[in-house]
Amino acid sequence: VILAFDVGDKLLTPLVSGVIQGAIYGLLGLGLVLLYKGNRIFNFAQGEFGTVAALVTFAFASGSKFLPKVPYGVAIVMGILAGVLMGLATERLVIRPLFRQPKVTLVVATAGVALFAVAVEGFFAGPAPTSIPPIVEGNFYTGGSLRVTNQELVILVVLALLAVVTTLFFKYTQTGTAILAVSQEPTATSLVGISVNRISALTWGMAGFLGAVAGILLSGRTGIIAPGFLTGVALIPAFTAAVFGGITSLPGAFVGGVVIGVVEQVVGTNIPVDIIPSANAVVVFAVLLGVLLFRPAGLLGKEV
Amino acid sequence: MKDNRALRMTVLGFVAGAMLLTACGLKPEAKATLRQAGGTRTFVDPNTGQIVDEQGNPVDPNAVPGATQAPGTDPNQPGGIPGQPGSSGQPGVPGSSGGPTTGPTSGPGAGNTTGIRDGKIYIALHGPLTGAGVPQDSFKTGTKIYWTNHKIRGMEVVADAFDDEYSPGGAIKACRRAAPNYFMIVGGAGTDQIQACAKDQVVQRGGVPYVSAGVTTNGLTGLNNYFAASLTYAQQGPTVVKMAREKGFLNAAHGWALVISDTPNFADARDSIEKALKAAGIPYKYIPVPKTGGNAQTVANQLRAGNFETVYFLGQPLFFTEVVTNTGCSPAPGYCPQYTGVGISMGVNTVANLACGGSKPLPFKGEFLSPYPGFNEAARYAPGVTFKDDIEFTIYGVMQLLDQMFQSVPLSQPLTRENFIAAVAAHDYTAGIFNDVRFASGTHFGGTAAFYLKANCNTRQWETDGGPTR
């Protein structure tokens, strides 16, 4: 007996699932946009900021190896701290020495950071995946094919909050303006007394923070974390989200993430695997190519 | 503007590369073919033992990746391993002549004694030592625990583990490194990897004995060197239904969901479970998923939409745990499906641990078939032996079986690959940790029975819940 799916199962459920999944992409995308605004580069290590944070959270929550077992909330703080530190370390040890090099050099360097991070993660955590609990247990809503967990609700709220806060930060604070100034004209910015190094470190620290939040929330949702996990699962959709939204637009990353998540879920649900294998992955690439070819400024971005 | 153009080019290049990788990932067979096409294809000449190209011309073994690998050291280190430049051949073993690093040692008519030298027999295992979710060290240590106390014809047995990276291409690479130096190869896990290695031309031309747990019959039927030491997935279809009936999760108002990786290698398994369910009058829906895993959320949505009480899963273990987590398990009248299927990958405790969730135990309901009992029964099946985990335990079981296979070669005959294959094909073997295996009737798929393994989320382990049965 073939059980028929109704419109709710074909559209409503993937729509809601897509918004939640897209929120994760948006969170990672926010970090990508932030660094693009600040340094004019794509950061291939953004996913690993999140993976490191999630692994550290797990390590402290479970008290693995020599680490003390701490309450989950404290472990999350430690995880976020690890993400921020990784961002700062990347800036100090890799980006700053290469700051005057062509941008493509910096992009490749971030790819190197990602690969190095995966190796280090594997060394300390082992290559096997481990399970990680959600921040909040339980379901917010269940009905038919649709299930929204409390964790997923947290993801949506956190993304919306961070999108608003970062937008306001760039629009209304002097530091936000300084970050933009450094990205556009570092020499002139330093001449007016703004420390380029300090601004650069701040930008990478913030990117580490955003990546860490994304990593902890995503791994808590999937229940699994392993070396290289976020890069493998979410980096390409996050790139797509950032480009789709307009690579210089923070709200654009939010919107782009949600759109990519929804498209991915709706297509994945409605195109059978035997017609197009991994249709949800293919559509992400198709959207990215389409945006780059036909609207390179993205949805909310501006040609600069 | 300039920056934007550079950015666009960077992203386009990245996307093109990623699409290529994705496409190859979807078709691993194609990836292996591409890899072969990219370089010189080489083979081990079964008569001379030399590495030759397609025209039969000798090829410098140092030019063949991994061909200079000498056994007994870490086989996963790139390049050759110093310290054993050319095996010396084992005195007293007919036909054993060593040879410059490549290892094949047969003389005309004497049989192939590759992998036997210096009073040792070298065997190779390939499996996912990285990234696929099984404890890696246990793969290596499980073999050592057994062979420390056992010998074959007075010879020490050295088993080296090769990382196949959980991909057919990786398996081919691993097996081509092993074939010229090791007596035989054992497939650890992964249907595509086992198939790719067992039928690989280098393995075939070298007549390398190959033993694995039963997986598919696709591409493996008719191979003289291949032996399945447990029931294939197709053979287990009716047993899954039998288990479901006995354990009370067969009859389902909303039917079963068959979540199966969309690969030709699982076609026989799918046919088998579909026939068994039809015969039992149970409705089902086939939900294919990409071999590489796909989107767990999409599958979870489909499971909840169909309200399927029982989910038969055959695919990537890590993807399975993602589906379980995304589907969730709500108390009645909420949705909480029973998961079932065939071994071997799902039956490892790493999978149970992940499926059971991160903090407090989840009500994950899983019961799968397995060629070996649960780790909770290790003391019963291997008394006096201490194992650190279930992988060590099962690898120990594989070694038990290999020991019996070696013993079945008559002492009046030299221990050659040919004599080993002939002996195994003519014998039945009694149960150790693995169930009885019977090849004497003429089949190379000798599995006879399976255990029921039920997930216990309090201990985060699979525990024996029945069997062995068929």
Look at the block and give the residue holding tokens 């829906």. Answer: B285
Using alpha carbons, list the distances in angstroms from residue B79 to A265, B164, B206.
44, 16, 21
For residue A21, give the chain B residue with the closest CA.
B297
Contact of B1 with chain A, judged by CB distance below 8 Å, is answered with: yes
Q: Name the closest residue on chain B to residue A143, using Cα atoms.
A: B334
Q: Which among B262, B257, B343 is positioned nearest to B305, based on CA atoms?
A: B257
> Residue A291 is encoded by which pair of tokens?
């945006």
Enumerate residues 6+ apart whose C-beta is below 8 A from B428: B436, B437, B438, B439, B440, B446
> 14-33 in B: which are within 8 Å (CB) of A?
14-15, 18-19, 22, 26
Task: Quote the pLDDT of residue B343.
Answer: 74
pTM: 0.77
Give the span between the Cα atoms of B288 and B299, in whole angstroms.
9
Alpha-carbon gap, residue B432 to B394, rounded angstroms: 10
CB atoms within 10 A of CB A115: 15
Secondary structure of residue B375 in the 3-state scheme: helix
Kindly give the confidence (pLDDT) of every residue in chain B, 470 residues in length, as a single tens digit, with 9 standing for 90 and above. 444 555 555 555 555 554 444 433 333 333 333 233 333 444 444 444 444 454 555 544 444 333 334 455 555 554 433 333 333 333 333 333 333 333 444 444 568 999 999 999 999 988 776 544 445 677 778 888 899 889 999 999 998 888 887 788 989 999 999 999 999 999 877 888 899 999 999 999 999 999 998 998 888 999 999 999 999 999 999 999 999 999 999 987 889 999 998 888 899 999 999 999 999 999 999 998 887 767 888 889 889 888 899 999 998 888 898 899 888 887 777 889 999 999 777 778 888 888 887 656 567 899 999 999 999 888 888 888 889 888 889 889 989 999 999 999 999 999 999 999 999 999 999 878 988 999 999 999 999 999 999 999 888 899 999 978 88
Contact at CB, A131 and B318, closer than 8 angstroms: no
Cα of B408 to nearest chain A Cα, Å = 37
Q: What's the first-to-final CA gap in chain A, in angstroms?
A: 57
Percentage of chain A exceeding pLDDT 70: 96
Distance CA B131, CA B166 (A): 8
**Is A224 within 8 Å of A132 (Cβ atoms)?**
yes
Nearest CB partner across the interface for A103, out of B6, B19, B284: B6
Q: Tell me the sheet residues that pair with B466.
A: B452
Check A142 against B335: CB less than 8 A apart.
yes
Which residues of chain B from 386 to 405 reach within 8 Å of chain A, CB to CB?
none
Residues A58-76 have a mean pLDDT of 88
Q: What is the pLDDT of residue B23?
A: 37
The packing angle between helices A150-172 and A174-184, to 10°, is 80
Find the DSSP H helices in B153-266: 168-178, 191-198, 201-205, 233-247
Test A277 with B301 for CB contact under 8 angstroms. Answer: no
Weakest-pLDDT range from A103-112, A170-179, A206-215, B356-365? B356-365
CB contact under 8 A, B7 and A145: no
The amino acid occupying position B345 is: S
| pLDDT for res B370 | 92
Q: What is the pLDDT of residue A287?
A: 87
- Rounded to an integer, what distance in angstroms lies between the CA atom of residue B405 and that of residue B186? 13
What does the pLDDT read at residue B26? 35
- The neighbour count for residue B282, using CB atoms within 10 Å, is 18
Residue B425's nearest CA partner among B152, B212, B209 is B209
* Distance set, CA B291 to CA A232, B142, B259, B296, B339 (Å): 16, 29, 11, 12, 19
Q: Which residue of B has its CA nearest to A36?
A: B7
B328 near A CB under 8 A: yes
Contact B100, B61 (CB under 8 A): yes
Confidence at residue B166, expressed as pLDDT on a 0 to 100 scale = 77
Which structure tokens are listed for B45? 């000449």
| pLDDT, position B62 | 40
From A128, A273, A292, residue closest to B288, measured CB to CB: A273
Of A9, A104, A146, the CB nearest to B6: A104
User: How many Cβ atoms sit within 10 Å of the Cβ of residue B149?
Assistant: 8
Q: Give B86-116 as a 3 state SS string.
A: CECCCCCCCCCCCECCCCCCCCCCCCCCCCE
Contacts of B14 in chain A (CB under 8 A): 239
Q: What distances in angstroms separate CA A5 from CA A147, A280, B187, one per listed residue?
A: 16, 19, 41
For residue B3, list chain A residues with Cβ-Cβ distance below 8 A: 40, 103, 304
Q: What is the pLDDT of residue B74?
A: 54
Rounded Cα–Cα distance for residues B281 and B255 (Å):
10
The Cα B217–Cα B263 span in angstroms is 13
* Average pLDDT for chain A: 87
DSSP β-bridge partners for residue B287: B259
Cα–Cα nearest to B397, from B409, B411, B407, B385? B385
- The pLDDT tens digits of the residues spanning B330-383 come to 777 788 999 999 977 777 888 888 888 765 656 789 999 999 999 988 888 888
B15/A285 touch (CB, cutoff 8 Å), yes or no: yes
CB contact at 8 A, B130 and B136: yes
Q: Does B47 touch chain A (CB under 8 A)?
A: no
C-alpha neighbours within 13 Å on the C-beta side of residue A248 = 18
Q: What is the pLDDT of residue A288?
A: 85
- Whether A67 and A226 have beta carbons less than 8 Å apart is answered as no
What confidence tens digit (pLDDT) does each residue in A29-47 have?
A: 989 998 988 888 899 999 9
Distances (CA, A) of B38 to B2, B31, B33, B369: 37, 10, 9, 40
Shortest Cα distance, chain B CAs vs residue A169, angstroms: 24
pLDDT digits 0-9 by tens, A196-234? 889 999 999 999 999 999 999 988 888 888 888 899 888
Q: Are B305 and B334 in contact (CB under 8 A)?
A: no
Which residue do the tokens 């600069």 mark? A304
DSSP B342: -
B133 contacts A129? CB cut-off 8 A:
yes
pLDDT for A100 beyond 90: no
Residue of B nearest to A59 (CA): B358
Cα→Cα distances A208→A215, B7, B119, B120, B262, Å: 10, 22, 56, 53, 38
Beta bridge partners of B160: B124
Contact B4 A107 (CB under 8 A): no
User: Residue A9: its pLDDT value, please?
Assistant: 77
Q: Which residue has the higher pLDDT, B312 or A254?
A: B312
For the ranges A9-13, A126-130, B157-161, the maximum mean pLDDT occurs at B157-161
CA distance A140 to A53: 26
- Residue A134 clears pLDDT 70, i.e. is over it: yes
Q: How far apart are CA B434 and CA B199, in angstroms?
A: 24
Q: How far is A233 from chain B (nearest CA, A)?
A: 10
**Residue A171 burial (CB < 10 Å; 0-12/13-18/19+)?**
exposed
| Partner-chain residue, chosen from B3, B304, B321, that has the shortest CB–CB distance to A224 | B321
Interface-testing mutation among B2, B5, B15, B389, with chain A (most A C-beta atoms within 10 A): B15
Give the pLDDT score at B42: 44
Question: What are the residues facing B157 on neighbouring strands?
Answer: B121
Query: Maximum CA pair distance of chain B?
Result: 81
- Write the burial class of residue B415 (CB in 10 Å: 0-12 exposed, 13-18 middle, 19+ buried): buried
* Shortest CA gap B262–chain A (Å): 7
How far apart are alpha carbons B298 and B291 in whole angstroms?
15
Residue the block writes with tokens 């992988």:
B391
Q: Is the pLDDT of residue A149 over 80?
A: yes
Phi/psi at B465 (5° precision): -125, 10
A134 contacts in B (CB within 8 Å)? Answer: 358
First to last CA, chain B: 69
Instruction: Note whether B261 and B214 are within 8 A (CB).
Output: no
Give how far B1 is from chain A: nearest CA, Å: 6
Number of helices followed by number of strands (H, E) in chain A = 13, 4
Q: Are A111 and A95 in contact (CB under 8 A)?
A: no
